[in-house]
């Protein structure tokens, strides 16, 4: 069974901490977990055990990933393909995708 959980809410209320903890607990229980940090100032990686030094060369998603057509919006690559080239493996085997770094934010 696949489950998608979105965590949103007030600034500083613990979203990132709870997201990272849930991801790790589920991964330890044997679930395949894909964590996506959609914050324009991403720091989920820290909660997932990735040291701050590694954050600078963190892969982020390309901007041309979404293709718009008359049928609607679709990914220009499969999720597996995106993960193969743009994800990191974090603590407890959680797969992490980071959407954007701060220097890329605010332009979309």
Ligand X SMILES: Nc1ncnc2c1ncn2[C@@H]1O[C@H](COP(=O)(O)OP(=O)(O)OP(=O)(O)O)[C@@H](O)[C@H]1O
Nearer to Mg ion, 11 or 30 (CB): 11
Question: What's the token pair of residue 35?
Answer: 């964590």
Q: Are 50 and 20 in contact (CB under 8 A)?
A: no
Residues of this chain, 11-70, that bind ligand X according to CB under 6 A:
11-17, 39
Report CA-CA distances (Å) from 80 to 83, 95, 108: 5, 11, 24
Nearer to ligand X, 16 or 87 (CB): 16
At 23, give phi and psi (nearest 5°): -60, -45
* From ligand X, Mg ion, none, interface partner of 85 (C-beta below 5 to 8 A by class): none
Q: With contacts defined by CB under 5 A, how many residues of the chain interact with Mg ion?
A: 2
- Name beta bridge partners: 35: 96
Q: Is 19 in the site for Mg ion (CB under 5 A)?
A: no
Among 15-23, 26-34, 53-61, 90-98, which window interacts with Mg ion (CB under 5 A)? 15-23
């Amino acid at each position: 069974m696949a489950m998608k959980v979105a965590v949103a809410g007030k600034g500083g209320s613990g979203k990132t901490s709870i997201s990272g903890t849930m991801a790790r607990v589920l991964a330890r229980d044997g679930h395949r977990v894909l964590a996506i940090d959609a914050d324009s100032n991403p720091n989920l990686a820290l909660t997932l055990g990735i040291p701050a030094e590694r954050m600078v060369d963190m892969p982020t998603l390309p901007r041309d990933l979404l293709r718009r057509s008359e049928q609607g919006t679709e990914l220009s690559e499969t999720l597996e393909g995106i993960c193969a080239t743009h994800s990191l493996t974090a603590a407890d085997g959680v797969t992490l995708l980071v959407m954007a770094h701060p220097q890329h934010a605010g332009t979309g």
